[in-house]
Structure 1
């Protein structure tokens, strides 16, 4: 008898890996038959196999040598488990082996999963795969047929013993020397197509230029294809002459080759300008900054129509400055992975604050610009206690971590989880140089050739050891290091990263992780082993892995409890139970909105900022994993007030004594984070102009977004004129702009404040930050009216602004149902406070990802006009917009709502209140649905 059937696909709702893990954990025996097993997939099942071994659960696995896809190291690993019997079906040219079946014997039934997935990371997590799961009783004919077929295969297969595996391994290594020419397709350069990142960047660059802008910056992780992106843009721009400037010579030849490959039929000449080569007459010149800074005056100022600065974070140095200021090209492009490495001057300013694209870790994983990582959070050994030590006391932490038993524990786990590729190429991140030296010494004494590198070592020495680590025939396996900021430690083939220090900064964590994510022909994933101690800031790991700069306690807890299911692709994050519980307990205890926590976050960030007080909001855009400065603004009304308070900075306090200056900061800060960019696009223009018309305002806005309607532009001008402030707001807030005769101009007070250069720098920063952050979250899309983006966070008053409401916006509060014309805004709390009167019986809940039940305010009858508009919304042309939040407050702070789109009433019952069932126009993504409905 068949009890149940279901289809398993890899999607944001789940994947085959999760199904296999839960099935192995619940079964009494298991039997697999798969065409091939790769280490990338096997590694994700290792802990589950280990738990099965502890429970005494036996397993049989059949795989094959079909097409030589099965990896010998995967077979060796399976054989390490005493509970698993492994056999190989040997294939020949006549018979292929394609089975993908997973059978689980349970107490009262069998579960059988048959479909398309082999054991590889992509088949288990991200590929388009179909697998059917059937639960059947022992007497079901289907099950009898399956088991009979399995037994037949088992008896036809050979035992995968050491002898078999070593012969197979030898055969595979011989194959490496051969190339199957049939696997390659000739591709001319016309067919090299841009990836998503490159496409978006080129589109944005074209838009920025169409409005007369002459400079832009692209921020994207190393290895994501920035050079190709620049070549695609140049291909469209068609400059007669181009100058491409880099910081390091080794990048130069690769950049030139990229351009030659992409522009083969353009009748262009390509040349190098370096210490040894001086091809100054080439159409497209590729030069080091060291060379061009000595001879730039030999060229005319307008010699080059297009100039590219690679590693643009160096552009703040004097040699770059001289070149930047001398030339006047039609367009200048800056490219960087790390805008944080600037000293005196802000790298954003050098490119006129035009950021064409910013791709950080999560987006890079999503667009497959970097390789996936398999992260294993492992509870550190019991003998190490960090609970009573200050996380900044590196000497004490070093002392406590220098334990031989810990080294053995690290190596044991390294050997258990393994790595991709034949040779292990590892980076170990330590607390201090002393700790790194100790680790290298201990690894060497255990036969794992390792060295310690730090900022004290010369560039040449670093390069020497890096090339040795990259060399498959060299026995160097590990580099232990501390200061990860030097550009020297960029090793594409790294396949293992050890986190050996307590995480005290999400920024550092992400930077360390990034060191191993470069794409490389010999690796398909990065293994990350994080040894998690019992220190007080363990929860920062979760903040770093979660990947969202704007998080709350609840979303963080759900992310941990669901194994960070929101992480895209084949990336896998797994923490052992002790670490998970420890982190959840810390998050529960921590108040993310307390002054104590905000100060800790601020000072940790200051350390990342090379110890300099981060006076600008744009400083926070320089690092992936930086804190959200809006939290600091919410605390003290302006960012500078917060800095003055926590730094006890008297000169900053004196600066803020100017009421007009402080008033300008307050008024502009109150609009952050922007939910539409129109007001700040206008404010940016008015920094340098006396007034702005409706037509010019529209033009300026279109520099940032693809489309805008005229009424919204007019509404933005009215908003800047404070037309929709209530009397209290008008009294409290300084008026910066005046709207008369169709033109918006600055008030005399604001004009006077801007005359002070120091004041102006802070005001510019605030406006640029608002725009840059908006672009990051909303991109250049147009969302119509109301201007609402799915799954974005909003407060009630935002709905008034974004629907062009022309009365006091503060009226949008209190009630859960607000309207502007045909737009109805439903603000819904899923969990009500316990002290709410029992007479109000709320029934607001998700039925599933596409259906929602909502109860109207008590006074609404279905016969009233408002009632009819709700229950017959589609017939009456009424748009019901749903905004949901899980809790009204967390840690004493009012939570924002999340916009889940429009809903249409399909059923209703009762009156005063009416219970309405709505079908959502957009199905809620699985990760968000889980966040709304899961209690942790």
Structure 2
């Protein structure tokens, strides 16, 4: 063992178990309590340890197949490096299903045994680092299950030790004995286990299911449904007669519709569907929400005609007949609800919508996009009341969790499958063999495969289906050329188990409901985020005996690979930095995981590097899509709520002063005066980010009334739970009168980009907009709309920031933003560089990985995280312990607290732009300050002061991995 690692281990013991002040060990060695906090799951640590060990042993009583998919991804990469491991588990309480053992046997680089020890209930993960002669372990309460590694409140200790440490030796010996006495898992052993296997608590589960049927729990709107109901109420309050709710498949659209009917309280409701089979189920759902007598509910179909029911559920086929329509007056129903509203462009639907005159009409769909030129948005007056996004639905656990696996596609003749690959390679026997190998390795939830395979071409789909059948995996190819009847029969065969796979191109992107799907396979490039999510979403509806969906994405040499992380995370920032971060350390979304093999990740990195995500061409495409969706010129607020581009992208684009300039580039017939342009630029560039609500709230209120008193403004801040004090109020005035931007570079230099007059002034105890802005707003012209739009967008974005404090953890800020939020009188960001010591605060900006070796200081003196709580930081040079700013930093009050508070901001590299992640407030470790000499290439050594900063809130582990480049 090297002296460095030995010192680290010794420090980790002292700091972790005796006195935290003694801890100078790096994160890899520091003992940690792992309990599945947000951004810091047991799985994060387990994965990191696996990726950095030379051998591993798991001793876990219980294993579930829902966590084996992401584990297999990591182990597949380890297998290529020749790294192997062992898993010791049990048959205790019959918890482990036979399928779990079958799945474990598929992993080539592990050996599996079952303990014969009575009551084996161990939960430990042991990692050897043979070259470095040390071991690490995670021991506690977490079994190898999805709930334990991702979600449950667990207690696990992660620790490291010399290989010959006493506890380590005891652990190794216990593992050795348990392993020697255990039984190898083989196919024969599994067959015997299956014969004796009794599902855990099967009788109590059946009893619980029976009880549930007898007494159904009351259903209440979840958070997203509450938000949607609020938006629907606001739409009607604003005079809207029609509205559209876009809600991902399986997120409870029917219940949402029932909840809105409940809040609307119509005298008569008409619910329209396209299939008779849906009627009874929909009516049952409404009964659970609305209650009432059975006679209140009725069906209108080919078999029933309950036209007098208060709540009438009708098929479009029956309702659209002239003879049926004429039996109702046009005002019979005051609430009309169209299910699967993407079908409403058909003549039958348009006929019904044209006939009835309800007080309100709601359309609900998961997929509003259509292949023809008809606009569903237009049919519902372009009123998108609410959109439930996939990622939010997964966080709310409204959908079946998925495990996405990005793996490299088949290689032929030394080439990877690409956009122009000939059919003979796309649909070759070798590619199908490769496909089946991966499908078998990663598996599925349940006892039988029911999968959808998406291809790029019809002939490819037909050939692959044929080859799958020949290999003993019944499959059928489907395309738009097949009749509806033929498709429905194929779907039925899949559901009944007669087929394993349906191989198709784009016909199953929407309008298909197969809850039993447990595999979605993508054998084509990602053409758009919308299509990607539509195809992935085919498997996300919950179903019995389905705990998760396996999503296998075969990633070839495609130019659009950069869309994959964007689609999976719903990222609208158009920031390469953000996409790379999600690729390096993929987030866990609810109970769903995102996983890439090493080669697949490299393919995506290459695509990210080659594309400009925030180009004007890209913004134009997003604009055109949204304009078609809304039927009018989109505003920034529309982009924030419904578009594929975050409104901040327009504000941060250096080619655009404000959104008006973008509209000009889009050839829209718009006009602002020169001064209106400057004012809009101010709001866009300085306030639209939403980092502080104070200025936005004040300007919004000043749009409604000419003057606001100090007390009115303070009451407004209180209403919105905003922090305030004398310095903050003074800062708001400095921002709005533009003095903050009047940097000393000549006595008369002013912020000409924003005009030379104050936007708003604070005089005699009240605030007022300047006269020119008041006059422009009074015209209710384009300026008024764009000004209000920028304020509304800023307030909408402010929901991502804490209202009761200046900074929000892990949000990004520029040096200029920090100057403003610290209430400094001037923007002094230009000369700030690494830090600036103020009277009460010292913001510290660290670029963790330096790109230019010539600019690096001595490697011994680079700012470096010791662990997730501690970072060693160096001042600029030349500085000494007696330097004024150093003495200011070290000065403490009578309680030992630093008078000047350090605030830590970090970015991984300069490639990430000007913004830094806020990592929290720090304190300076007592007696850690030391004066040292540093050497810089081609320069004389200079003195600096080093000190250790302690974060008041330790970094989330996934954030630590991302910022330090260890992910």
Q: Measure how far apart 1:743 and its partner are.
A: 5.4
The aligned counterpart of 2:464 is: 439
Q: Distance in 1 between matches of 2:82 and 2:774?
A: 81
Deviations 1:545-581 (A, max 9, x none): 455333644554454444x2x2245434333333333
Would the aligned equivalents of 2:72 and 2:107 in 1 still touch at CA under 8 Å?
no
The aligned counterpart of 1:69 is: 95
SS in 2 for 1:256: helix
Would the aligned equivalents of 2:679 and 2:759 in 1 still touch at CA under 8 Å?
no
938, 951, 955: which is aligned to 1:920?
951
Trace 1:33-432 onto structure 2 (pairs within 5 A).
Answer: 34-46=60-72, 63-79=89-105, 98-100=121-123, 115-130=140-155, 137=164, 140=169, 143-152=172-181, 154=182, 160-162=186-188, 165=191, 168=194, 180-181=206-207, 186=212, 188=215, 192=219, 195=222, 197-198=224-225, 220-228=247-255, 237=263, 239=265, 241=267, 243=269, 245=271, 248-249=274-275, 252-262=279-289, 264=291, 270-272=296-298, 274-275=300-301, 298=329, 319=350, 326-328=357-359, 337-338=366-367, 359-383=388-412, 391=419, 401-432=426-457
Trace 1:700-739 onto structure 2 (pairs within 5 A).
Answer: 726=742, 728-730=750-752, 733=755
Would the aligned equivalents of 2:403 and 2:592 in 1 still touch at CA under 8 Å?
yes
Would the aligned equivalents of 1:29 and 1:59 in 2 still touch at CA under 8 Å?
yes
The aligned counterpart of 2:961 is: 930
The aligned counterpart of 2:599 is: 578
Q: Distance in 1 between matches of 2:724 and 2:905?
A: 28
Would the aligned equivalents of 2:573 and 2:649 in 1 still touch at CA under 8 Å?
no
Trace 1:645-724 onto structure 2 (pairs within 5 A).
Answer: 651-652=667-668, 655=670, 666=681, 669-670=684-685, 671-676=687-692
Q: Measure how far apart 1:496 and its partner are.
A: 0.8
Q: Measure how far apart 1:447 and its partner are.
A: 3.5
Would the aligned equivalents of 1:361 and 1:624 in 2 still touch at CA under 8 Å?
no
Q: Distance in 2 between matches of 1:326 and 1:702?
A: 43
Would the aligned equivalents of 2:403 and 2:548 in 1 still touch at CA under 8 Å?
yes
Q: Distance in 2 between matches of 1:815 and 1:766?
A: 32
Q: Does 1:466 align with 2:484?
A: no
Q: Distance in 2 between matches of 1:433 and 1:770?
A: 49
Q: Does 1:783 align with 2:772?
A: no
CA 1:696–1:856 in structure 2 vs 1: closer, same or farther (change >3 Å)?
same
SS in 2 for 1:527: strand
Q: Does 1:509 align with 2:538?
A: no
Would the aligned equivalents of 1:629 and 1:639 in 2 still touch at CA under 8 Å?
no
The aligned counterpart of 1:880 is: 901
Would the aligned equivalents of 1:36 and 1:69 in 2 still touch at CA under 8 Å?
yes
SS in 1 for 2:917: strand
Q: Distance in 2 between matches of 1:583 and 1:79?
A: 30
CA 1:118–1:828 in structure 2 vs 1: closer, same or farther (change >3 Å)?
closer
Would the aligned equivalents of 1:9 and 1:16 in 2 still touch at CA under 8 Å?
no
CA 1:553–1:281 in structure 2 vs 1: closer, same or farther (change >3 Å)?
same
Q: 205-214 or 41-50: which moved more?
A: 205-214
Q: Distance in 2 between matches of 1:39 and 1:577?
A: 23
SS in 2 for 1:900: strand
CA 1:285–1:421 in structure 2 vs 1: closer, same or farther (change >3 Å)?
same
For structure 1, the 5+ residue unaligned runs are none
Would the aligned equivalents of 1:660 and 1:749 in 2 still touch at CA under 8 Å?
no
Q: Measure how far apart 1:495 and its partner are.
A: 0.9
Q: Measure how far apart 1:501 and its partner are.
A: 0.9
Q: 254-263 or 315-324: which moved more?
A: 315-324
Q: Does 1:814 align with 2:831?
A: yes
CA 1:720–1:515 in structure 2 vs 1: closer, same or farther (change >3 Å)?
farther
Q: Distance in 2 between matches of 1:549 and 1:475?
A: 41
Q: 185-194 or 713-722: which moved more?
A: 713-722
Q: TM-score, normalised by structure 2?
A: 0.73
Q: Distance in 2 between matches of 1:487 and 1:593?
A: 27
Q: Does 1:482 align with 2:502?
A: no
Q: Distance in 1 between matches of 2:790 and 2:507?
A: 27
The aligned counterpart of 2:816 is: 797
Would the aligned equivalents of 2:581 and 2:962 in 1 still touch at CA under 8 Å?
yes
Q: Distance in 2 between matches of 1:735 and 1:614?
A: 34
* Number of equivalenced pairs: 892
Q: 165-174 or 406-415: which moved more?
A: 165-174
Q: Measure how far apart 1:181 and its partner are.
A: 1.6
Q: 711-720 or 418-427: which moved more?
A: 711-720
Q: 75-84 or 790-799: which moved more?
A: 75-84
Trace 1:472-551 onto structure 2 (pairs within 5 A).
Answer: 474-483=497-506, 487-545=510-568, 547-550=570-573
Would the aligned equivalents of 2:405 and 2:595 in 1 still touch at CA under 8 Å?
yes
The aligned counterpart of 1:451 is: 476
Q: Distance in 2 between matches of 1:680 and 1:158?
A: 66
Deviations 1:175-230 (A, max 9, x none): 99996326765585566565554566678889999999999976553223354456
Q: 689-698 or 575-584: which moved more?
A: 689-698
Q: Distance in 1 between matches of 2:831 and 2:356?
A: 55
Q: Measure how far apart 1:519 and its partner are.
A: 2.1
Q: Distance in 2 between matches of 1:505 and 1:868?
A: 54
Deviations 1:402-452 (A, max 9, x none): 433222221222122221112211111222333333333333343433233
Q: Measure how far apart 1:497 and its partner are.
A: 1.2
Would the aligned equivalents of 2:337 and 2:363 in 1 still touch at CA under 8 Å?
yes
